Amino acid sequence: MRTQVAIIGAGPAGMLLAHLLAAEGIAATVIERRDRNYVEGRVRAGVLEQGTTDLLRRLGVAARLDREGLVHEGTSIAIDGASFRIDFAALTGGRSVTVYGQQEVMRDLFDAAAPRGIEIIWNAEEVTLEDIDSARPVVRWRQDGEENWLECDFIAGCDGYHGVSRASIPASVLKSFERIYPFGWLGILADVPPVDHELIYANHERGFALASMRSATRSRYYIQCGLDEQIEDWPDERFWDELCLRLGEEVGGRVTRGPSFEKSIAPLRSFVAEPMRWSRLFLAGDAAHIVPPTGAKGMNLAASDVAMLAEALADHYRRGSDAGLDGYSGRALARVWKAERFSWWFTSITHRFPELDGFARRIQQAEIDYIRTSPAAQRSLAENYVGLPLEAA
Ligand code: RFL
Ligand code: PHB
């Protein structure tokens, strides 16, 4: 078998890239380790930057997003129960974000794949990348006990943090940068109306809390938790009590409680691998970088990476120019690092760190009070939250 671009992984990065390449008439095959139900069932991101929704519209896969997505023109920040609003629209010249779950994005991308001739190979086991630094890289995998292989011009490594792509780059070439945070997020989904029409990021003495949603009738809430905590230690009532405490009396008192139907703990990490290209292998999305979820940047970074990569591949096939491919890693990393900075900063001012002494706590309080009172600080937060342009001029 032969194709132009072999895409490893059918998450947001891989599927968006497959659609972008299909729109350019470039042949691609997606090779995914799991099945569609598994990928679509993962409860993850909830907030789309305007650049991401624009991309989905450009690809013609946004009909449901436009019907069901919740446009948010602001968000609230709370500290010890007192909250204030950041007005994205007023601070960024009318920009906004859209609440639409990653699961819904994946469903839309999968539904539109077959009619566009996008081939996805599911349940591919033991995927290996070979001859990456030759003119004809090969991807091999096993499926139903059979050996399969695919020859290609380029490989797009879109297989997430634990994938095989980044691991296929020689250690001598790759530099990685990492921060592991000493806490995680315990998240629940419940079919109850959200406490507010926008998100609330709350810093509280007892730890961070986030009030988010998926729709007018479905809430997504998170609380910061210890890394050693178990889901079983958090029956619903304990979760609701702790959430309401951290959101403060006024907001907490308005929370509608109900049975959760999903509950999970996610560790927080910042990670970047450089460069994002080795020979004919290009990394995109979580395969190259991870952000803590505080700034809602993960899936959006996957989208901006593949927008750049698709442009570079189109330049190669349409115009015979490799300038885009040669510049891809530097161009993508410039944007990635700004999102890393924002996510790290937003995490550091909203969470309770074990070593947080009186001085550090006062600095957090001053930082949040500065944001509350300074239009310049609010504008900086807002322009990062709604998403920086693909590149600064
Ligand atoms: P994914 O989604 O991990 O997809 C990678 C795919 O590759 C497959 N795979 C392989 N396939 C073939 N061979 C192999 N050897 C393979 N190894 C792995 C996997 O099965 C999978 O299908 O990476 P991608 O596409 O780069 O997308 C990244 C996003 O999923 C991720 O950044 C976001 O979910 C992060 N994230 C958020 N992002 C946002 O933009 N906004 C948010 O509000 C937001 N909230 C979140 C989040 C992530 C969270 N968790 C659980 C990590 C909230 C949470 C709690
Ligand atoms: C979510 O709704 O899952 C969500 C929202 C905002 C974040 C992270 C996650 O910063």
**Residues in the chain, total:** 393
- Is residue 38 among the annotated active site residues? no
Q: What percent of the chain has pLDDT over 70?
A: 100
Candidates 19, 293, 316, 328; catalytic one: 293
Its sign, for the CA torsion 300, 373, 344, 332, is positive
For the chain, first and last CA: distance in Å? Answer: 42
Strands of the 97-99 sheet, one edge to the other: 47-48, 97-99, 70-72
- Is residue 72 among the annotated active site residues? yes
Residue 128's pLDDT is 98
Torsion, CA 162, CA 164, CA 166, CA 170, rounded to 10: 130
C-alpha 360/C-alpha 181 separation (Å) is 16
Strands of the 125-130 sheet, one edge to the other: 125-130, 138-143, 146-151
Nearest to 124 by CA among 110, 107, 144, 151: 144
Distance 302 CA to ligand 1 centre (A): 9
Burial (CB < 10 A; 0-12, 13-18, 19+), residue 237, is exposed
pLDDT 10s digits, 207-216: 999 999 999 9
Structural domains in the chain, CATH included, are: 5-70+98-177+269-350 (3.50.50.60)
Q: Report the chain's C-alpha Rg in angstroms.
A: 21
> Is 44 touching ligand 1 by the criterion CB < 6 Å?
yes
Distance 110 CA to ligand 2 centre (A): 23
* Tokens found for residue 87: 């007005």
Residue 45's pLDDT is 87
* pLDDT at residue 392 greater than cutoff 80: no
- Is residue 389 among the annotated active site residues? no
Distance 43 CA to ligand 1 centre (A): 10
Distance 282 CA to ligand 2 centre (A): 28
Distance 113 CA to ligand 1 centre (A): 19
Alpha-carbon distances, residue 331 vs 127, 151, 177, 327, 378 (angstroms): 28, 27, 18, 6, 27
- Is residue 197 among the annotated active site residues? no
> Is 300 touching ligand 1 by the criterion CB < 6 Å?
yes
| Ligand 1 pocket mutation, candidates 208, 212, 299, criterion most atoms within 8 A of CB | 299
Q: What is the DSSP letter of 2?
A: B
Candidates 100, 137, 181, 201; catalytic one: 201
Report which ligand 2 atom has the smallest distance to the Cα of 45. Answer: 3
Alpha-carbon distances, residue 244 vs 183, 214, 236, 241, 262 (angstroms): 20, 19, 12, 5, 19
Torsion, CA 78, CA 79, CA 83, CA 88, rounded to 10: -50
Residue 81: pLDDT band (50, 70, 90) is confident
pLDDT 10s digits, 263-282: 999 999 999 999 999 999 99
Residue 393's pLDDT is 62
CB 211 within 8 A of CB 225: no
